[in-house]
Amino acid sequence: MAVRRLRSRNPNLTVVAIVLVLVAAALTAAACAPSAAPSVSTSAPKAGEPAKPAAQPIVLRASTDLKEISQVVQVDRIAEIVKERTKGELTIVNMYNALGTEQQSAQMVMDGTVDLGTMANGNASRWTNSLYIWDLPFLFKDYKASLEAWDSPLARKGIDQFEKDLKVKFLLACSLGGGREIQTRDKQLKVPADIKGLKMRVVSTPIDLATFRAWGANPTPIDWGQTYAALQQGVVEGMAVALNNLLANKHYEVTNYTVRVGYQPIVEVLMMNPSKFASLSPQHQKVLLDAINEVKPWGWKQEEDKLQETERKLTELGHTVYTPTSEEYAQWASIREKLWADIKVEMKDKVDWDLANQLYAAQK
Q: For the sheet containing 268-272, what is the strand order?
A: 90-94, 58-63, 116-120, 268-272, 169-174
Domain residue spans of the chain: 58-177+267-307, 181-265+318-361
As beta bridge partners, residue 174 has 268
Q: Is the per-residue pLDDT at 349 higher than 60? A: yes
Dihedral angle of Cα 82, 157, 175, 292, to the nearest 10 degrees: -10
**pLDDT band per the 50, 70, 90 thresholds, residue 66:** confident
Question: Residue 266 in contact with residue 137, Cβ under 8 Å?
Answer: no
- Report d(CA 178, CA 304) in Å as an integer: 7
Q: Is the per-residue pLDDT at 275 higher than 90? A: yes
- Report d(CA 129, CA 116) in Å as an integer: 21
Exposed / middle / buried, residue 177 (Cβ in 10 Å: 0-12, 13-18, 19+): buried
Whether the domain at 58-177+267-307 and the domain at 181-265+318-361 fall into the same CATH topology: yes
Considering only residues 215 and 104, tell me which one the structure prediction assigns the higher pLDDT. Answer: 215
For residue 352, how many other CB atoms are within 10 A of its CB? 18
Considering only residues 240 and 49, tell me which one the structure prediction assigns the higher pLDDT. Answer: 240
pLDDT at 326: 96
Side-chain-facing half-sphere of 242: CA atoms under 13 Å? 24
**If DSSP codes are grouped into helix, strand and coil, which group holds residue 199?**
strand
Q: Is the per-residue pLDDT at 11 higher than 70? A: no
Q: What is the pTM of this model?
A: 0.78
Q: Residues 144, 145, 148, 149: is their CA dihedral positive or negative? A: negative
Question: Residue 218 in contact with residue 200, Cβ under 8 Å?
Answer: yes
pLDDT at 243: 94
Q: What is 181-265+318-361's CATH number? A: 3.40.190.170
Residue type, 272: M
Q: Is the per-residue pLDDT at 14 higher than 70? A: no
Q: Is the per-residue pLDDT at 68 higher than 50? A: yes
Angle at which helix 143-150 crosses helix 153-166, to 10 degrees, equals 70
Q: Tell me the pLDDT tens digit for each residue of 302-332.
A: 999 999 899 999 999 999 999 999 999 999 9
What DSSP string runs through 5-35? HHHHH-HHHHHHHHHHHHHHHHHHHHHHSPP
Alpha carbon 222 to chain centroid, angstroms = 23
Question: Residue 133 in contact with residue 353, Cβ under 8 Å?
Answer: no
Q: Tell me the pLDDT tens digit for each residue of 291-307.
A: 999 999 999 999 999 99
b/e sequence 13-29, b meaning 16+ C-beta within 10 Å: ebeebeeeeeeeeeeee
Q: Residues 58-177+267-307: name the CATH superfamily.
A: Bacterial extracellular solute-binding protein, family 7 (3.40.190.170)
